[in-house]
Structure formats: structure tokens, C-alpha cells
Amino acid sequence: MELSTALLLEAGGSLIGFLLSVLGAGGSILLLPLLVSGAALPTKEAVPLSLLVVMVLALANVPPYLKRGQFAAGPAAVLGVPALAGSWIGGSWVKAGAIPEAVQLGVFSAAALVASWLLLRTKPAPAQGSRARRQSLLLALQGLLVGLLTGIAGVGGGFAIVPALVLLAGLPMGLASGTSLLLIAVNGLVALAALGHWPSSSLPLMLPLLLGGALGAVVGQSLAPHLSDRQLRRGFSLLLIGSALMSAAEAWKRQPLPAETGAAPLSRSAWQQKARS
């Protein structure tokens, strides 16, 4: 591993650890583009590695939230159980080769933009009666979609879990963040099992990511109790937009293009490299 790559991964890991500790999300929304664009990993290797790193960092950030009582068991169950099913289905699709690499990145980008838009909306008041039941159904559906995203794009799902818990379950950001962390870890474990392969050749990249993540988590945990709900939501929305644009650009580069007769299709980036040579 080159020194520049190690430093890039360590810096990225610090930001990811900070975001997970403060928001309960945001790790994989940055990690997947970092591994694909920064470390030049193919998506097949980046997805399971992303899941591994985010699982470890999410679990490391759970205890302070539990100590503050920031975990909502009811909404976690309503969203989490369908998410596990979705993770297994999405991971199985990828394992079977049913989802092209460009589609994986494109789905990731679209989901990040939708989640950003949702977070910028005004938070609704907690619903009662039939409206509450309808929102529970929507929360379960969101869980299924989050799981599919986890399996397909290798994301922990926090970037979609947190908006769902805030907007549909009416939780404040702090409570949604703590709940999200545990769901991310379990969701990622199921998706990794469904993918069925271990990124052994890429495991050395975990060291700078986890070292940076530990540093970022320490800083984030000291700041988390002092940040307002509004500041957290706005900051998270900006993060989502930036990551969506990065992933969309990478999806465009990796879109298959027609190759010469008798040859396999090339990605856009491979075709451009061949044209320059």
C-alpha cells in the first residue's frame, strides 16, 4: 500500500468515525466512494470491505449512546426486521451477478439524494391512532428498502435509517443516531453473509481506516451531546449530497461501453484509458 493511499484512508477513516459517533450514520456513504475512487478498488472488493469497517466502527460507537439511554427498541424492531430480510435479498442478487457495478453505484447515489431531501423537510409531529399505524407500515417498508441498499451497495444504511426514524417515528436526532448504530452493525453482518465472500486481498486497507476511525470517534463522542438537532440534520444533508455526486461520477465512469467486435464490453474509464494509449 502506498503512503499516499494510507494517509488518504486514515483521513477518510477519521471523518467516518466522527460522523458515525455524532450522527449514527454517514460512514458507508463516504467509505464506498473512498474505496472505489481513492483506493481504486473494484466494487466487488469495496462492498464487503466497506461493510466490515462500518460494522466495527458502528459497534465501537454504540456504548456511549446506550449509556445516555439513546436507543429506541420499538422503532428499531419495526424497521430492523424488514431491513435484515432486504439485506439478505440484496446481497444474494449481487452474489448472483444480477446487479452491474454501475447500477450499484447509481442506486447508492440516488438513495443518498433522496435521504438528503427528506432530512431537509420539516420534522412532523408524532402521529396518533390510524396515522401512527400508517407510519409504522411506512417505517417497515423503509427498513426493507434500507436492507436492499445494504446488500446491493455495501452501505450500513444509516444514511437512510436516520431520516426514517426522524421523519416516520418522530425521534429526535440523538435518539435516532443511537438506534441507527446498532441497526447498521446487524444489517451489515447479514449483508456480508449474503454476499458470501471475504475481501482477503483488501484487508490490509482496514488498518488505516480503523486507526483514523478511532481518532474521529473520540472527537465526535465529546461533541455529540452539545450539537443541536437542526445542526446535525443540516450537516448530514450536505454530506449526503456530496457523496451522491461522487458516486454518480464514478458510476458514469464505470458504465459499460461497446467495445471492438468480438471483445467484451469495457467500462467508460477503461475505454478512455485504452483510447489514450
Residues of the domain holding 72: 3-255
Asked if residue 265 is part of any domain, the answer here is: no
Q: What is the pLDDT of residue 260?
A: 44
Q: Give me the percent of the chain exceeding a pLDDT of 70.
A: 80
pLDDT tens-digit readout, 180-211: 888 888 887 887 888 777 777 888 888 888 89
Asked if residue 229 is part of any domain, the answer here is: yes
Domain count, the chain: 1
Asked if residue 13 is part of any domain, the answer here is: yes
Asked if residue 106 is part of any domain, the answer here is: yes
Using an 8 Å Cβ cutoff, are 115 and 254 in contact?
no
Q: What is the pLDDT of residue 30?
A: 74
pLDDT tens-digit readout, 243-254: 778 777 767 776
Q: What's the DSSP call for residue 122? A: P
Q: How far apart are the first and last CA of the chain?
A: 26
Using an 8 Å Cβ cutoff, are 161 and 136 in contact?
no
Cell of 34: 473512498
Asked if residue 116 is part of any domain, the answer here is: yes
Cell of 74: 420499538
Residues facing residue 266 across a β-bridge: 257
Q: What is the pLDDT of residue 143?
A: 84
Which residues does the chain have with pLDDT short of 50? Answer: 122, 124-125, 260-264, 271-277
Asked if residue 149 is part of any domain, the answer here is: yes
Q: How far is CA 150 from the centre of its chain?
A: 7
Asked if residue 176 is part of any domain, the answer here is: yes
Q: What is the pLDDT of residue 271?
A: 44
Asked if residue 263 is part of any domain, the answer here is: no
Question: 267 φ, ψ to 5°?
Answer: -75, 160
